[in-house]
Structure 1
Amino acid sequence: MITPDMWRKSSFSGGGQGDACVEIAHWHPRISVRDSKIPSGAVLTLPAEVFSTFVEALKGGTHMLTREF
């Protein structure tokens, strides 16, 4: 179970209150992500290696959105 003290805000939180960001929690072997403005809202949980690949793709500008139905 993820506890409140496990959540960490992004280092790119923006100005002001620093609440315009996502938060992550490392819950081995998974990473959970939530909107910092709605902490009781939905949580996306991914395997750690998938999350790392996703972040690296965003940093490199190589992300592609695909749509499968």
Structure 2
Amino acid sequence: MTINWRKSSYSGGSTDEMCVEVGELVGGVAIRDSNDPDGGRLEVGSAEFAMLLGRIKHGALDRP
């Protein structure tokens, strides 16, 4: 299966060093570090990804 990766809209600009990419899967989403595209990736279901985005939007994962 070929994944079409795109930069997450939550990442910074094109020069930002802390970027993630997301790719659509059947029934879910793959997430990887854009600086290490051949490294590991995290695969989550659609519901889990929606919950993750909700937590990010509400600041639940912000660093202190």
Report the TM-score range of the alignment, normalised by the length of the smaller protein: 0.7 to 0.9
Percent of aligned positions that are identical: 32
Q: Answer 1 or 2: which has greater helix percent.
A: 1
Question: TM-score by structure 1 length?
Answer: 0.72
Q: TM-score, normalised by structure 2?
A: 0.77
Which residue in the other structure is 2:13 paired with? 14
Tell whether 2:8 aligns with 1:49.
no
* Matched residue SS, 1:46: strand
Please provide the CA RMSD for this pair.
1.8
Match of 1:30 in 2: 28
Alpha-carbon shift at residue 61 of structure 1 (Å): 1.9
The number of residue pairs the alignment matches comes to 60
Gaps of 5+ in 1: 64-69
Larger of the two Rg values belongs to structure: 1
SS at the partner of 1:52? helix
Structure 2: which 5+ runs fail to align?
Answer: none
